[in-house]
Amino acid sequence: MTISVFGLGYVGAVTSGCLSQIGHQIIGVDVHEPKVRAFNEGRSPIVEPELDDMLQSACREGRLRATTDAAEAVAASSISIICVGTPSLPSGSLDLGYVTHVTQQIAAALRQQGKKHIVIFRSTMLPGSTRKMVGEQFADLLQSGSLQVFYCPEFLREGTAVADFREPSLAVVGTEYGNAPASDEVMSLFGGTPAVLRWEGAEMIKYSCNYFHALKVGFANEIGRLAKHLNEDALRVMDVVCQDTRLNISRYYMRPGTPFGGSCLPKDVSALRSFARQQGVNLPLLENTQATNDAHQQQFVQLIEKSGKRRIGFIGLAFKADTDDLRGSPLVAAAETLIGRGHTVSIYDPQINLSRLIGSNEQQIQTRMPHLAQLLKQDAKEVIEAAEVLVVSQKCVPVEVFRACVRADQIIIDVNGWAPLKSLPCRYEGLCW
């Protein structure tokens, strides 16, 4: 089966690589020439474990190519998967401009070609968006029976996205009326045993999951702040809370440390909050999720500044380990604030290669930290030895390297609870413990 994947960012790249590995022919489609060129050379436009090897293998075996020509991709495929970005507008609401543009391109191609086709929306969209897109672009095609439209949200975590695709934590298929698709093609495409809902239900599940993840991070960090005030170890408190696997269920986000960030949680918290306001629904807990994250970010910066030191070294800058995604990173925000207040900042993150940054990831860092190239160091020792305060958010440097380089007058601020740092011959401070 030949599948066209529209949007070669994070979700599109992983979807393309994983589907190619199970035997599908993939045509990637993107407006950005660098992404198309990278795909045609078997290179991933993002950093994600296993993905480079998967794309190289698929290219070598003739199962993967990319183009900027939407009509050509639709003509050569039986399924189109829409994975383009849905960024936030300045108001906090969702920008569906990219999805609308791609939907128009696919609709025009299908009318011209007169073929049967399946369209799957995978971009994160607010409830009602798929129905609106179908009404505006696909109504005649759907009515004629030549087109089927589904909404299948993704549940991929950066850094573990390939493993998540292979063994999904949740599988959801949204249809017009909430009935199972006539064929097994869509039901089996993304693995698992999908729950089938109406389009609106499938869209709502994606936001429900992301809001819950954001709430868990905020909750753990609020407990962390209170526990630290009481001289209690919040990591231990939360570890015991998570031993209740019958009621508390998930451990993944229930860990005090970094404020939530990345390309999904801040955007989706903002979008659903804006949506609830527009609908006139009062949701006070959800309304304040971003506020508690902002307060945690503020305390994080205050913890660094209260040392009175001026030279700050960051070990890890991306919003989490095993990715180069700087969008919404709390570490970028902290570094940006400290630089603005006159501190000297140096950074080590082995995953970040500025020449590989593409699309909105590159655009955001160019806007917020255009001088990042001067701050990034290739050798962790250079950052460790130069800093008076070391902010450690990732385990990307062996403890032995720290032990060999740190001095008694230095301070290590442990952002995510890496226990061996406590044994180093310098002052240790945990963010929430």
Instruction: Kindly state the average pLDDT of the residues 223-252.
Output: 84
Q: Which residues pair with 121 in a beta bridge?
A: 82, 151
Rounded distance, CA 45 to CA 357, Å? 7
DSSP state of 179: P
Residue intervals in the chain for CATH 3.40.50.720: 2-202, 307-433
pLDDT tens column, 108-162: 999 999 999 999 999 999 999 999 999 999 999 999 999 999 999 999 999 999 9
Nearest to 173 by CA among 134, 125, 120: 120
Q: Which of 18, 83, 152, 264 is catalytic?
A: 264
Q: Write down how long the chain is.
A: 433
State yes or no: is 264 an active-site residue.
Answer: yes
Nearest to 201 by CA among 182, 174, 223, 164: 174
Rounded distance, CA 427 to CA 401, Å? 16
Alpha-helical runs (H) found in 341-408:
359-368, 372-375, 380-386, 399-405
Place 16 in a pLDDT band, splitting at 50, 70 and 90. Answer: very high
Q: Which pair of tokens denotes residue 319?
A: 């919003």
* Residue the block writes with tokens 């300045």: 90
Rounded distance, CA 178 to CA 197, Å? 4
Rounded distance, CA 364 to CA 367, Å? 5
- For 2-202, the fitting CATH number among 3.40.50.150, 1.50.10.10, 3.30.450.20, 3.40.50.720 is 3.40.50.720
pLDDT tens column, 319-368: 999 999 998 899 999 999 999 999 999 999 999 988 888 888 888 788 88
Fold classified for 307-433: Rossmann fold (3.40.50)
User: Over pLDDT 90: what percentage of the chain?
Assistant: 79
Residue 248 has pLDDT above 80, yes or no: no
Which is more confidently placed, 357 or 187?
A: 187
Place 250 in a pLDDT band, splitting at 50, 70 and 90. Answer: low
Q: What pLDDT does 374 receive?
A: 92
Rounded distance, CA 199 to CA 266, Å? 23
pLDDT tens column, 35-81: 999 999 999 988 999 999 999 999 999 999 999 999 999 999 999 99
CB distance 89 to 95 below 8 Å: yes
Q: What pLDDT does 49 receive?
A: 94
Nearest to 15 by CA among 175, 166, 148: 166
How many C-beta atoms lie closer than 10 Å to residue 180's C-beta? Answer: 12
Which is more confidently placed, 356 or 404?
A: 404
Place 244 in a pLDDT band, splitting at 50, 70 and 90. Answer: confident
Nearest to 368 by CA among 314, 394, 331: 331
